[in-house]
Structure 1
Amino acid sequence: MAIDISHLHKRYDNKTVVDDVSLTIPKGQITSFIGPNGAGKSTVLSMISRLLPMDGGKVLLDGDDISGLKSRDIARRLAILKQSNHVDLRLSVEDLVAFGRFPYSQGVLTAEDKRFIDEAIDYMDLGDLRQRYLNQLSGGQRQRAFIAMVLAQDTDYVLLDEPLNNLDMKHSAQIMRVLQKLCHDKNKTIVIVIHDINFASVYSDHIFAMQDGRLVFSGSPTDLMHSERLESIFGFHMPVEQVGEHRLGLYFIA
């Protein structure tokens, strides 16, 4: 099964931000959404997770219409991490990760909940930081803590909106390697909104490109990474070079 989207539509006032989008997100893979700012990528993720109401269309989660599911049931099957994940509360890493168990525990942690919390912290290599407060962490450590929270939620689907925001090159690559490992080791379906076309090319199994609210490309990284196709999506010429088994866009010299 998978996530099936049919004729998804969203408007704000008189502006259409998602325009008749239909697609299927394959299960057990890393799927990336790319496109210019304002293309509608994050809005699609928010509607998939029902954080935003849709103005038209349908989203099926493993065949079930999400409009008929209880929020708690969705949260046990699908987790989303939005890019605006700044937390002002004085929370430790362990406290934050424990929030991932709320759909099950409703705030009263069981032994099973604590096992999932421990596993998520260990998986993200945060054991030495579990009692540290979030405001004491580096950007990469903090992002790993939020991903650990999503892992503790133990869902088949993990949706991440700009998970590389404000991270340097080292930590961005680290996060993408962790996500790839999650997909392969735990059979998670990872869906990412991402700006860096090269991270999308190297780590994705499937890529959707959006432009002005519409879906304009669906395919593999190899099919996407051609100068003419990238120019039609982003509006400027981008040389593409083969580096090992990957094709990379040289946007910094375009």
Structure 2
Amino acid sequence: MIEVRNTTKSYRGSIVVDDVSISLPAGGVISLIGPNGAGKSTLLSIISRLLPASAGTVTVDGMDVATTPGDVLARRLSILRQDNQMTARLTVRDLVAFGRYPYGKGRLTAEDEIHIRRVIGYLELDAHAGRFLDELSGGQRQRAFIAMVLCQDTDYVLLDEPLNNLDVKHAVAMMKLFRRTADEFGKTVILVLHDINFASCYSDRIVAMRDGRIVYEGPPETIITPEVIHDVYGVRADIHEIDGKRMALYFR
């Protein structure tokens, strides 16, 4: 379980995450939604220790992320950042292999090689494994970075806007993959998403943020409602149920 307690993040007096407290249970898919500037990505970065909190605490299965040794935390929690930039010229396989660094510090074992091959196949990147990242499309490159995170084989997988650069076909395939990762391998997958219909279709739980605070949390059926969407985003929505999932159409 991830426990966030009275956590705040501010920059030069501007509060981005405002005294947030929440318990995120282990297992399943959890989506963070909300308008731009709501604090979603900042909260995810604090949980993963990419950013220090200005106040408050975050624990992962009882381990304080601020004080736990980096290699220990990296074997329990992994994150895909929103801005993935690589200055080195790497192949897809090289990038994915970085996911094993917390285990062997760069000395790949036979077990590491098994993980690398399995994840490359899982993301359907076999045909691109030997290609350099700068030779790939944006969507292919995004899948390669996701493969690196999954290769880290952590209990908690944090993904900040993982559908960036993906067309609809690949976005659907990616959300199905995250769902399978949680169901088949017992992972906890926490996503920052802008598309609330993807959140509705594939999540066990949705956390809605606005102005640095958590304003709603619960299963999709309690969050994907006209009232909640209007309160969070300031737009009217017409809700339809398709195959048991709530879908929203937006109107000003």
Q: Distance in 1 between matches of 2:116 and 2:133?
A: 16
Alignment pair present for 1:175 and 2:169: no
User: TM-score when scaled to structure 1?
Assistant: 0.96
One-letter amino acid of the counterpart of residue 55, structure 1: S
Q: Distance in 2 between matches of 1:93 and 1:186?
A: 23
After TM superposition, the structure 1 stretch with the greater mean CA deviation from structure 2, 155-164 or 116-125, is 116-125
Helix, strand or coil: the match of 1:67? Answer: coil
Q: Distance in 2 between matches of 1:72 and 1:22?
A: 26
Sequence identity of aligned pairs in percent? 51
Helix, strand or coil: the match of 1:239? Answer: strand
Q: Distance in 1 between matches of 2:151 and 2:169?
A: 24
Counterpart of 1:63 in structure 2 is 62
Q: Distance in 1 between matches of 2:249 and 2:84?
A: 30
After TM superposition, the structure 1 stretch with the greater mean CA deviation from structure 2, 135-144 or 146-155, is 135-144
Q: Distance in 1 between matches of 2:185 and 2:134?
A: 30
Cα RMSD after superposing both structures: 1.1
Counterpart of 2:3 in structure 1 is 4
After TM superposition, the structure 1 stretch with the greater mean CA deviation from structure 2, 110-119 or 188-197, is 110-119
Alignment pair present for 1:234 and 2:233: yes
Counterpart of 1:208 in structure 2 is 207
One-letter amino acid of the counterpart of residue 223, structure 2: L
Unaligned runs of 5+ residues in structure 1 are: none
1:137-152 correspondence runs (5 A) = 137-152=136-151
One-letter amino acid of the counterpart of residue 67, structure 2: G
Alignment pair present for 1:101 and 2:100: yes
1:1-254 correspondence runs (5 A) = 2-251=1-250, 253-254=251-252
Unaligned runs of 5+ residues in structure 2 are: none
Displacement of 1:12: 0.5
Q: Distance in 1 between matches of 2:85 and 2:194?
A: 20
Q: Distance in 1 between matches of 2:7 and 2:86?
A: 31
User: TM-score when scaled to structure 2?
Assistant: 0.97
Displacement of 1:124: 1.3
Q: Distance in 1 between matches of 2:157 and 2:228?
A: 28
Q: Distance in 1 between matches of 2:40 and 2:223?
A: 17
Q: How many residues align?
A: 252
Q: Distance in 2 between matches of 1:174 and 1:138?
A: 17
Deviations 1:141-192 (A, max 9, x none): 2222111101111100000000011221111111111111111111110000
One-letter amino acid of the counterpart of residue 79, structure 1: S
Q: Distance in 1 between matches of 2:39 and 2:152?
A: 26
